[in-house]
Amino acid sequence: MIVVPLGVSSATPTVNRNLPSVALWREGRVFLFDCGENTQAKMLQAGIKRSKIEYIFISHLDGDHYFGLLGLLSTLNMQRRNAPLTLVGPKRLKKFVEFNLDIAEITPEFELNYVELEEDFEEEIVVDEDEFYVKALPLEHTKFCIGYRFQEKDKPGKVDAKKASQMGIVEDTQFKELKAGNDVELDDGTIVKSSDIVGEPRTGHSFAYVTDTQYSPNAIKLGEKASILYHEATFGNALADRAKETGHSTAEMAARVAEKAKAKLLVIGHFSGRYTNEFVLMKEARKIFNETWIATEMRPIMTDPEHENGIITPRVKSNQKAAKQLRKSKNSYNHNKKGYNKKRTKKRKTFKRRSFAGSNNSKKFSEYYTNKRGGQHNKHHDKKDDKNRQNKPKDNPKYKPITPRTPFDEYNRF
Ligand SMILES: [Zn+2]
């Protein structure tokens, strides 16, 4: 699973942050959590195909969390999408979408399904597929708000085929039995135990999306041992009162949830516009839960980097090599420079001795010297510089840029 925050602001966009949305990529399928204004543009920038979205989960009906829906739906329709799309969210979501599409005279050419949750629901599995399910729980905000957990189902352990055939297993049905956890009896009466052939089951990864809530026990349930717990941290400690008033969390509350839930990683987002440096919030959270990261727009978070690095290649990692090269060539550049200075001094001396030794005309000398030196200098420098330039990584085809300017630059598209 790859989780890509697309918008990490709260309430209103700021110069650097967009309205809430998080994309989850799994084996080529895309799931959106909230869809604030500008989500579709951010997806484009992050290189996540909008056509691959299958489900959109809306946390609640505060405009900043779903006003991007109409634009996105309109784009999907213009792209002639024909795959079905399911919108999951609080009751009235369907009414909102249909009413607005009707006014815009848009009739989706694709199947648009809705899963709506009533305000008094306690817990619900909103999606259930072979490989994963999504669970919803109510949160505690000023209005009805839903938290989600995307859970991969555990995979059965790997079958050791070599060992199995050594023990006399040949038929497919026998393999299936073993994989299902049943022991198999061979013709000669020997029993092959499933546990001898099949490895430990692999636990599925999980992603919990908890936004717009104050400290809530349901948030802990959603984040229980989650691979990634995305929790809102609208305010810092100093504004804990304001958090309470508005039904939001402080960074410390998010950290407490992560700690109690024993989450593997806490990612905080939904920052109030007043924090230009969100690392202040990270610092507060890390006092309680050290595995805390800041949600950065378009910077992917992987649950299984070994597997997922092949899908999106982080440029930065591959550039560690390039950085080494750069350092190396920089050293040789400096070295050359030193040699160059030395040589120049020598030359000046020769020049002085030859042309002006014993001369009293100091003005003439200085004039001539300056001009000459300028000329000499440039000529010399250019020649040397050309040579150095070849060593500079810029012209080296192996060199890749190593200083990403934005999080977008850090990863290749996927
Ligand atoms: Zn919000």
Where do the structural domains in the chain lie, given as residue ranges? 2-155+203-312, 161-197, 317-410
pLDDT at position 190 is: 83
- In sequence order, the β-bridge partners of residue 197 are none
Residue 268: name the closest of 198, 224, 213, 327 by CA: 213
Cα-to-centroid distance, 256 and ligand 1 (Å): 20
Stretch (H or E) spanning 89? strand 85-90
Q: What local confidence, expressed as pLDDT, does residue 314 receive?
A: 54
Position 28 scores a pLDDT of: 87
- What pLDDT sits at residue 330? 60
Q: Which residue from 6, 3, 1, 2 is spatially nearest to 45, judged by alpha carbons?
A: 6
Supply the pLDDT for residue 201: 82
Q: What pLDDT is stored for residue 144 in this prediction? A: 95
Q: Residue 211 C-alpha to ligand 1 middle, in angstroms?
A: 7
CB-based contacts of 222, cutoff 8 Å, min separation 6 = 135, 137, 147, 148, 149, 208, 209, 210, 229, 261
Q: Distance between CA 402 and CA 410 in Å, rounded?
A: 9
CA 52 from centroid of its chain's CA atoms: 17
d(CA 371, CA 141): 76
CA of 223 relative to ligand 1 center, distance in Å: 19
Provide the pairing of β-strand 53-57 with 206-210.
Answer: unpaired
**Radius of gyration for the chain, computed over Cα atoms and rounded to the nearest angstrom:** 31
Token pair of 357, please?
């030794």
Distance CA(91)–CA(112), nearest Å, equals 16
Secondary element (H or E) of residue 257: helix 251-261
- DSSP per residue, 264-321: S-EEEE-B-TT-S-THHHHHHHHTT-SSEEE--TT--EES-HHHHTTTS-BHHHHHHH
Ligand 1 center–CA 286 separation, angstroms: 23
2-155+203-312 has which CATH code? 3.60.15.10
**Alpha-carbon dihedral 226, 228, 232, 238, rounded to 10 degrees:** 90
For the beta carbon of residue 95, count every other beta carbon within 10 angstroms: 11
pLDDT at position 408: 56
* pLDDT for res 267: 95
Residue 151's nearest CA partner among 213, 210, 224 is 224
Q: Would you please indicate which residues are annotated as catalytic (active-site) residues? A: 64
Cα–Cα distance, 15 to 409 (Å, whole number) = 19
SS3 label, residue 9: strand
Cβ atoms of 263 and 231 closer than 8 Å: no
* Cβ-based neighbours of 33, under 8 Å, separated by 6 or more: 21, 22, 23, 24, 56, 57, 59, 148, 209, 230
The token pair at 212 is 């717009």
Å from CA of 137 to ligand 1 middle: 17
Q: Exposed, middle or buried: residue 402 (CB in 10 Å: 0-12, 13-18, 19+)?
A: middle
| CA–centroid distance, residue 9 to ligand 1 (Å) | 8
Rounded Cα distance between 9 and 34, Å, is 12
- The pLDDT value given to residue 369: 46
How many angstroms separate the CA atoms of 199 and 401, rounded? 43
The pLDDT assigned to 235 comes to: 94
CA distance 88 to 36: 15
Whole-angstrom distance, CA of residue 105 vs CA of residue 175? 56
- How long, in residues, is the chain? 414
DSSP class of residue 198 equals: B
Nearest one of 175, 168, 257 to 211, comparing CA atoms: 257
Ligand 1 centroid distance, CA of 102 (Å): 27
The one-digit pLDDT tens for each residue of the chain (414 residues) are 999 999 999 999 998 899 999 999 998 899 999 999 999 999 988 888 899 999 999 999 999 999 999 999 999 999 999 999 999 999 999 999 999 999 999 999 999 999 999 999 999 999 999 999 999 999 999 999 999 999 999 888 887 888 888 888 878 888 788 877 788 888 888 888 888 888 888 889 999 999 999 999 999 999 999 999 999 999 999 999 999 999 999 999 999 999 999 999 999 999 999 999 989 999 999 999 999 999 999 888 988 877 776 666 555 544 455 566 666 666 655 554 444 444 455 555 554 444 444 445 555 545 544 444 444 444 444 444 444 444 544 555 554 544 555 555 555 555
Which residues keep their CB under 5 angstroms from ion ligand 1? 10, 212
pLDDT of residue 376: 43
CA angle 271, 26, 144 (to 5 degrees): 45
- Residue 20 CA to ligand 1 center (angstroms) comes to 7
For 137, half-sphere exposure in the C-beta direction (CA atoms, 13 angstrom radius) is 18
